[in-house]
């Protein structure tokens, strides 16, 4: 299935609805949260290297800002759609709420294939997109960050463009920047580190030792490759990895450091020495203890779920599991650490970066990691307790924790009407 299937938004709404029902929240809460507060669609011209002009389409969805400014990444991908961006922005609202950040949810996307663009074209496209959405973003309004196929260099161009427009250095308008431009130590590793912490906590709760645990990872980008190293560092065995071009499997374990070097030189993990080829479907249903989808949406479907053998699924990607698959996995007793919790480490360190930009005081890496650890462990425990107390799966529990915070904020702000007349 392609990641851009329209059911992404239905999925996000379905999850919201279920949690709101369980918490017996007023109907208005769901009505407000089932759609974005604002969606901007832009088209902008970009000059290509051959002198021709191409017009690109981009979006920025601002889902909800009850808890603070909109926050969320920008994705460059050929299959970006408005619906997908809306769903992703909705997930950001819940993600920020579940870990207790003072942020709402947003997401942006540009329909393009960055792998086909030269560095110059990529820079002009990044600047063009920011000029187009500049009236709607700002350090206290909406703060973008990297997402699929965007990186610190792109964030630097975007920050620079916004700063030029405003006439001052607005470092706090965007996070995930390079270190020399107000980026935070530990941001690059943050998504993977947060994911690793939730896996470690879940394994502890289940009495599963990480040492010797067999891990399969779908996606070997920033999140997938770093979580592989962190787990291997604890003695886990990464037995299979796939990326968009190929896969590598070795039941004796793959060396994630060598694998990353290999991918950097060849462009894929496929063909890695001493490994067998494996495709995505085989990986998702492989006999392993921990499965980490770290690529795109809609990967673990109702067809795949019955074949899943892992005990723990940690969703480093956003929306990798469909609603139908979720039901099957719950019946099978597979513990799914949901995306809004498992991958919240990225936005958490984005928040630290923004705090550092706002105060002008920069923290050592140990401080970043120590605070990330605190945030992730607390959010994991709150969710795990809700899961046990309410007898619901971890996804539902995470939504309930998030929704309680959102409800409280919206109620106190008066968005739900006057209580005493
Ligand atoms: N794109 C990342 C996410 O989906 C990070 C967002 C951010 O740092 O604002 O959580």
In this predicted model, what pLDDT tens digit does every residue of 318-375 receive, in sequence order? 999 998 999 999 999 999 999 999 999 999 999 999 999 999 999 999 999 999 999 9
Ligand 1 pocket residue status of 353, Cβ below 6 Å: no
Ligand 1 pocket residue status of 350, Cβ below 6 Å: yes
Give the pLDDT of residue 3.
Answer: 44
Q: Of all atoms in ligand 1, which is nearest to the CA of residue 103?
A: 9
Distance 154 CA to ligand 1 centre (A): 14
Give the pLDDT of residue 11.
Answer: 86
Say how far apart CA 31 and CA 48 lie, in whole Å. 43
Instruction: State the catalytic residues.
Output: 107
**DSSP 8-state assignment for residue 306:** G
**Probe residue for ligand 1, chosen from 146, 149, 159 as the CB with the greatest number of ligand atoms within 8 Å:** 146
Q: Please state the rounded mean pLDDT for residues 223-244.
A: 97
Ligand 1 pocket residue status of 144, Cβ below 6 Å: no
Give the pLDDT of residue 185.
Answer: 98
**DSSP 8-state assignment for residue 173:** G
Going by alpha carbons, the residue nearest to atom 7 of ligand 1 is: 347
Give the pLDDT of residue 7.
Answer: 74
Give the pLDDT of residue 87.
Answer: 95
pLDDT exceeds 50 at position 390: yes
Say how far apart CA 229 and CA 413 lie, in whole Å. 44
pLDDT exceeds 70 at position 14: yes
Ligand 1 pocket residue status of 343, Cβ below 6 Å: yes
pLDDT of 408-417, one tens digit each?
999 999 999 8
Q: Please state the rounded mean pLDDT for residues 59-83.
A: 97
pLDDT exceeds 90 at position 125: yes
Q: Of all atoms in ligand 1, which is nearest to the CA of residue 147?
A: 1
Ligand 1 pocket residue status of 347, Cβ below 6 Å: yes
Give the pLDDT of residue 5.
Answer: 44
Q: Of all atoms in ligand 1, which is nearest to the CA of residue 344?
A: 10
**Probe residue for ligand 1, chosen from 63, 72, 189 as the CB with the greatest number of ligand atoms within 8 Å:** 72
Q: Phi, psi (5° rounding) for residue 336?
A: -100, 120
Q: Please state the rounded mean pLDDT for residues 93-115.
A: 98
Q: Please state the rounded mean pLDDT for residues 266-271.
A: 97
**Probe residue for ligand 1, chosen from 68, 89, 96, 347 as the CB with the greatest number of ligand atoms within 8 Å:** 347
Poorest-confidence range of 108-112, 202-206, 320-324? 320-324
Ligand 1 pocket residue status of 275, Cβ below 6 Å: no
Ligand 1 pocket residue status of 237, Cβ below 6 Å: no
Ligand 1 pocket residue status of 190, Cβ below 6 Å: no
Q: How buried is 10 (Cβ within 10 angstroms: 0-12 exposed, 13-18 middle, 19+ buried)?
A: middle
Going by alpha carbons, the residue nearest to atom 8 of ligand 1 is: 347
Going by alpha carbons, the residue nearest to atom 10 of ligand 1 is: 347
Say how far apart CA 96 and CA 406 lie, in whole Å. 10
Identify any residues that bridge with 40 across adjacent strands, giving them in sequence order: 60
Say how far apart CA 94 and CA 244 lie, in whole Å. 28
pLDDT of 27-51, one tens digit each?
999 999 999 999 999 999 999 999 9
Q: How buried is 412 (Cβ within 10 angstroms: 0-12 exposed, 13-18 middle, 19+ buried)?
A: exposed
CB 283 within 8 A of CB 240: yes
User: Per-residue confidence at 418, pLDDT binned at 50, 70, 90?
Assistant: confident
Ligand 1 pocket residue status of 145, Cβ below 6 Å: yes
User: Per-residue confidence at 4, pLDDT binned at 50, 70, 90?
Assistant: very low
Model pTM score: 0.95
pLDDT exceeds 90 at position 129: yes
pLDDT exceeds 70 at position 420: no
Ligand 1 pocket residue status of 346, Cβ below 6 Å: yes
Ligand 1 pocket residue status of 75, Cβ below 6 Å: no
Output the average pLDDT for the chain: 96
pLDDT exceeds 70 at position 395: yes
Give the pLDDT of residue 6.
Answer: 40
Distance 277 CA to ligand 1 centre (A): 31
- The gap from C-alpha 134 to its chain's centroid, in whole angstroms, comes to 23
Nearest to 175 by CA among 346, 41, 39: 346
Specify the 3-state DSSP secondary structure of 49. Answer: coil
Distance 146 CA to ligand 1 centre (A): 6
**Probe residue for ligand 1, chosen from 145, 158, 318, 342 as the CB with the greatest number of ligand atoms within 8 Å:** 145
Identify any residues that bridge with 337 across adjacent strands, giving them in sequence order: 314
């Amino acid at each position: 299935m392609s990641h851009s299937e329209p059911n992404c938004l239905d999925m996000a709404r379905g999850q919201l609805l279920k949690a709101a029902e369980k918490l017996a929240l007023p109907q208005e809460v769901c009505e407000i949260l089932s759609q974005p507060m604002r969606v901007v669609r832009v088209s902008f011209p970009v000059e290509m290297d051959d002198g021709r002009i191409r017009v690109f389409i981009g979006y920025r969805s601002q889902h909800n800002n009850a808890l603070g400014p909109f926050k969320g990444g920008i994705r460059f991908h050929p299959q970006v759609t408005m619906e997908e961006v809306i769903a992703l922005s909705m997930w950001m609202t819940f993600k920020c709420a579940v870990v207790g950040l003072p942020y709402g949810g947003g997401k942006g996307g540009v329909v393009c294939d960055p792998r086909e663009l030269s560095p110059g074209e990529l820079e002009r496209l990044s600047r063009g997109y920011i000029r187009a959405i500049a009236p709607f973003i700002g350090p206290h309004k909406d703060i973008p960050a990297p997402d699929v196929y965007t990186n610190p260099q792109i964030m630097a161009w975007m920050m620079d463009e916004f700063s030029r427009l405003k006439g001052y250095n607005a470092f706090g308008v965007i996070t995930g920047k390079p270190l020399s431009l107000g980026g935070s130590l530990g941001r690059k590793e943050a998504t993977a580190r947060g994911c690793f912490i939730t896996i470690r906590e879940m394994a502890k709760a289940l009495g599963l030792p990480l040492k010797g645990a067999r891990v399969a990872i779908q996606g070997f980008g920033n999140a997938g490759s770093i979580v592989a190293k962190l787990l291997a560092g604890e003695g886990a065995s990464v037995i299979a990895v796939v990326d968009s071009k190929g896969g590598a499997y070795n039941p004796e374990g793959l060396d994630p450091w060598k694998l990353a070097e290999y991918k950097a030189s060849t462009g894929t993990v496929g063909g890695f020495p001493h490994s067998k080829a494996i495709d995505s479907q085989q990986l998702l249903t492989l006999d392993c203890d921990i499965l980490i989808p770290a690529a795109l949406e809609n990967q673990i479907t109702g067809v795949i779920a019955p074949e899943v053998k892992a005990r723990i699924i940690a969703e480093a990607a956003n929306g990798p599991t469909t609603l139908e698959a979720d039901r099957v996995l719950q019946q099978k007793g597979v513990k799914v650490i949901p995306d809004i919790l498992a991958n919240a480490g990225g936005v958490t360190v984005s928040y630290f970066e923004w705090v550092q930009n706002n105060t002008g005081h920069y923290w050592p890496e140990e401080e970043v990691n120590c605070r990330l650890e605190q945030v992730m462990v607390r959010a994991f425990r709150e969710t795990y307790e809700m899961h046990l107390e309410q007898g619901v799966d971890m996804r539902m529990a995470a939504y309930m924790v998030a929704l309680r915070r959102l409800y409280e904020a919206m109620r106190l702000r008066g968005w739900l009407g006057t209580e005493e007349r």
